[in-house]
Structure 1
Amino acid sequence: MSTQTYLIDTNVIIHLEDNRTVEPAFSAFTSLAAKHKVDIFVHEAARDDVSRDKNAARQAISLSKLNKFQTLSKVRGLTIADLSRYFGPLPKHNDIVDATLLHALHIGAADFLVTQDRELHERARRHSAELGRRVLYVADAVHLLRTTFEPIEAPVRFIDEVHAHSIPLTDSIFDSLREDYAGFDMWWTEKCVKQRRLCWIIEDEGVAGLLIRKDETGTDTDATEKANKILKICTLKVRPERRGLKLGELLLKKVFWFAQKNKYDVIYITTYVGQTSLIDLLEYFGFRHTATKHDGERIYEKRMSGCIFIPEGDQNRFDIHRLNYPRFVIDQNTAAFGIPIKEGYHDILYPDLRQQAQLDLFGALGMGGGPRRPGNTIRKVYLCRAPSNLGPPGSILFFYKGKSQWPPSQAISAVGVLEDVRYARSTRELLQMTGGRSVYSEKDLEGWHASFESPVKVINYLLAAYVDPPIGLKRLKELNVISQHPPQSIFRISHSCLDDLLAHIDLGYKT
């Protein structure tokens, strides 16, 4: 995609350059444009208009402000009559300047025109809806720059995005990296610090988990698939004493959702054969070993766009979803279910969605802190005694949060993919079946009092996405997903309702 160009009206320049506090939107516009190397122009006609000012001192000041920006030249031979035919009557000189700016937009000399002049917006819309959409207020321009260039934040709490230089080399997260790579300190300084690479970190008495990412294209990548938009995981590291908290999976979830939201084609990582747990995790979620470098370093790639990858062999629907995670495919045979969940369990399973006020309250009570249990992970387990049966592996699950003190309340908030359903008839079985995924303590599990007469249903699933914004009870009734009364037990969602429901959820891809 070519670099965007913005043509700015003099009213924007005057606001930016006046001797007064600049409103956040105006400063954000120029800051974002500079950050992403977006060209900003003023039109030669606007410069000529300023030159007409009879106050020489004021004229000099205004021209000095314009000189900070590049100039877009006038079109040779363009007459007022031509402009009038395009943009209507031009009774005043200012109207002629406005029409000249619109003409530059119309012929493609600039992508967008930024102005606070309502009349100019109206003139553009009268010409055509297409031109009207390209004339922006400053706040609209800021939004466009952000949506175009700034990564869309994926909601994974407890992960912070920081620049590499903000992490001191003395942090113990780097100790084992130095052991594996003798030149690590130099690489970190030259490739990460000096290039201001962004990292995701999990803090827990220092940096407990670290992921360094890099944007690449098909012309400059080690990936075998030369796609247009590639995300490289340069480093994925969990501090040894913090392993067992599923922090690696938490970081991978961040990568998957980030890549899906921002429409990357491929994710890849390089590692060595000795990194068995990492390789197992990668392959579980669909990374494929595509090449090996001369020094034995292996390349693992995962495609995020295009057709769903359906592996060969007799694999069930869940495996297809898992290997294509976070994407899943819907067809006529796909079953879907709603699962009611109480607020307390919802907060445990989905700590990402807990309200900040709620978190602040927990912190004040001494209950805050980092991710001490794998509640933010992909692979999850839900316990209940709901009598209803669920469908086959690969069924789609919609978690409905019941009436709650904290929002969302009475709304579908999360989507999962069913792996299997098992029944625990003792606390021991419950401990065994939930091992590795449980967000509950042993005491919590004992409290279920699982027995042969009163077994506990253990639902294993993958968290596929959060529903943003959550779909409330009123809308769910309108879609016939829920009948008149809020659900108290697991309920089946018909295929026609499933289509309507998915149409209200932005997954970042077509199901």
Structure 2
Amino acid sequence: MNLETKKFKDIDLGDPFFDSLKNDYKEFSDWFARKADESAYTFRGNSGDLDGFLYLKIEDGPVTDVTPILTDALRIKVGTMKINPHGTRLGERFVKKIFDHALHTNVKEIYVTVFSHHKALVALYERYGFRQQAEKPSQNGTELVLVRDMRREYIDMLSSYPLVQLDGNRNFLLSIKPKWHTRLLPDSILKTEGSDVVQDVSHTNSIHKVYLTAMSGVENLREGDALLIYRTSDGQGPARYRSVATSICVVEEYRHINSFVSRDDFLNYCRPYSVFSEDELSTFWNRKRYPYIIRFTYNIALKRRVTRSEMLDDVGLDEDAYWGFMPLSNEQFLNIIRRGQVDEGLIINKA
């Protein structure tokens, strides 16, 4: 997947990708030129064409060019986000990047201005908790001002993404083999892995994931349970040091393969968010090889990977337990994520 940061001066403004932005914003070309030494995310699909552009800006103070004015605060402004939709959930990947920046800079809010006729884009923002709070009139027309408050009370799994609610839920370790881990969770890639293995496909881009397994115990998962993703050893050294905890995810739904009424029903559910190809999924449907299906959100990549050795020696996990899938106490879960240098403000735990 060719997602990279580039200086504005190294991006071709003459690319047809930017035509719609030039049509919407008369000043876009002048604005683009002024940003010459600033950076933006660009995305090129498998064809090599520019298919995505994301520019983020930190602002500190009131926003006075909107009505009503947004009060004094540290914010991230989504200066520009444009995607050529091609069925690979790139919009969700960009939304995740926006949240990653917000968490890294500890801002109070994120905001974006967007014309109401971009209905799919507005719906994407609203799905993850952005709400209209103002309007921005200009020579180009009136835009909606959508705001996401990063410090409001927890509402639900999507509106409050990427927060993780522990209260009333349970925690589990879920193992994933290296060859599937990087494709499914690209922001949790290890430094020893090459980014060229991350492809432009929906299960890579998406905030939402579907994972199929035959591991016993996952059939007891329920909505809201937290998953600590455990990348198993790649065989390049002792498992105590090559197997690591990498990510925190939250269960949206568990289903058994027999709950689908047909192969098409099964494919429509799994295909957009699974690491497996349609042919592989069809084989699984026919053979019922992996009957347990978990859909979850990809919330947080640990800043520091926590090794199996550390989880055994310092956290006290049981070496003789089944590490494919096992329950974790709140104390164990919190201990591991502290070692993973996760901001505990992302974890809602009032107990």
Q: Give the Å deviation of 1:419.
A: 0.7
- Counterpart of 1:484, as a letter, is E
Pairwise CA RMSD of aligned residues?
Answer: 2.7
Quick check: 1:199 aligned with 2:35?
Answer: no
Q: 1:303 is matched with which residue?
A: 149
Instruction: Say if 1:411 and 1:457 are closer, same or farther in 2 by CA, change over 3 A.
Output: same
Q: Percent identity?
A: 23
Q: 2:214 is matched with which residue?
A: 385
Give me the whole-angstrom Cα distance separating, in 2, the residues matched to 1:211 and 1:350.
20
Q: 2:8 is matched with which residue?
A: 164
Instruction: Say if 1:481 and 1:423 are closer, same or farther in 2 by CA, change over 3 A.
Output: farther
- Counterpart of 2:43, as a letter, is I
Quick check: 1:469 aligned with 2:304?
Answer: yes
Q: Give the TM-score of the pair, scaled to structure 1.
A: 0.59
Give me the whole-angstrom Cα distance separating, in 1, the residues matched to 2:302 and 2:322.
18
Q: 2:160 is matched with which residue?
A: 324
Give me the whole-angstrom Cα distance separating, in 1, the residues matched to 2:214 and 2:74.
45
2:280 maps to which of 444, 449, 452: 444
Give me the whole-angstrom Cα distance separating, in 2, the residues matched to 1:472 and 1:280.
39
- Counterpart of 1:210, as a letter, is F
Quick check: 1:400 aligned with 2:245?
Answer: no
Conserved? CA contact 2:40–2:56, under 8 Å: yes
Quick check: 1:229 aligned with 2:74?
Answer: yes
- Counterpart of 1:300, as a letter, is L
Moved more, 214-223 or 469-478: 214-223
- Counterpart of 2:42, as a letter, is I
Give me the whole-angstrom Cα distance separating, in 2, the residues matched to 1:430 and 1:406.
36
Gapped runs of 5+ residues in structure 1?
Answer: 1-156, 311-319
Partner of 1:217, secondary structure, is: strand
Conserved? CA contact 1:203–1:370, under 8 Å: no
Q: How does 1:277-296 map to 2 (within 5 A)?
A: 277-294=120-137, 295-296=141-142
Q: Give the TM-score of the pair, scaled to structure 2.
A: 0.84
Q: 2:93 is matched with which residue?
A: 250
- Counterpart of 1:296, as a letter, is T
Conserved? CA contact 1:342–1:401, under 8 Å: yes
Q: Give the Å deviation of 1:341.
A: 1.3
Aligned length: 332
1:213 maps to which of 48, 56, 78: 56
Give me the whole-angstrom Cα distance separating, in 2, the residues matched to 1:302 and 1:434.
29
Q: 1:409 is matched with which residue?
A: 242
Q: How does 1:311-350 map to 2 (within 5 A)?
A: 320-331=156-167, 333-350=168-185
Conserved? CA contact 2:180–2:275, under 8 Å: no
Q: 1:428 is matched with which residue?
A: 264
Partner of 1:485, secondary structure, is: coil
Q: How does 1:15-54 map to 2 (within 5 A)?
A: none
Partner of 1:323, secondary structure, is: coil
Instruction: Say if 1:420 and 1:503 are closer, same or farther in 2 by CA, change over 3 A.
Output: same
Q: 1:135 is matched with which residue?
A: none
Conserved? CA contact 1:261–1:508, under 8 Å: no
> 1:167-208: CA deviations, max 9, x gaps?
121122212222333443233234x33xx3321111231422
Give me the whole-angstrom Cα distance separating, in 1, the residues matched to 2:214 and 2:266.
13
Q: Give the Å deviation of 1:454.
A: 5.7
> 1:281-327: CA deviations, max 9, x gaps?
111111111123344310111122x34343xxxxxxxxx23212222
Q: 2:328 is matched with which residue?
A: 493
Instruction: Say if 1:509 and 1:496 are closer, same or farther in 2 by CA, change over 3 A.
Output: closer
> 1:37-70: CA deviations, max 9, x gaps?
xxxxxxxxxxxxxxxxxxxxxxxxxxxxxxxxxx
Partner of 1:437, secondary structure, is: coil
> 1:233-288: CA deviations, max 9, x gaps?
11111135xx3122221111111111101211111111122212111211111111
Greater fraction of residues in strand: 2
- Counterpart of 1:233, as a letter, is V
Give me the whole-angstrom Cα distance separating, in 1, the residues matched to 2:232 and 2:142.
52
Instruction: Say if 1:431 and 1:350 are closer, same or farther in 2 by CA, change over 3 A.
Output: same
Q: 2:104 is matched with which residue?
A: 261
User: Could you say which structure has the greater relative contact order, defined with CA pairs below 8 angstroms and 6 or more residues apart?
Assistant: 2
Q: How does 1:38-77 map to 2 (within 5 A)?
A: none
Conserved? CA contact 2:132–2:146, under 8 Å: yes
Give me the whole-angstrom Cα distance separating, in 2, the residues matched to 1:226 and 1:292.
14
Instruction: Say if 1:503 and 1:402 are closer, same or farther in 2 by CA, change over 3 A.
Output: same
Q: 1:375 is matched with which residue?
A: 204
Structure ID, larger Rg:
1
Q: 1:131 is matched with which residue?
A: none
- Counterpart of 1:181, as a letter, is Y
Greater fraction of residues in helix: 1
Give me the whole-angstrom Cα distance separating, in 2, the residues matched to 1:406 and 1:277.
45
Conserved? CA contact 2:62–2:70, under 8 Å: no
- Counterpart of 2:83, as a letter, is V
Give me the whole-angstrom Cα distance separating, in 2, the residues matched to 1:227 and 1:328.
28
Gapped runs of 5+ residues in structure 2?
Answer: none
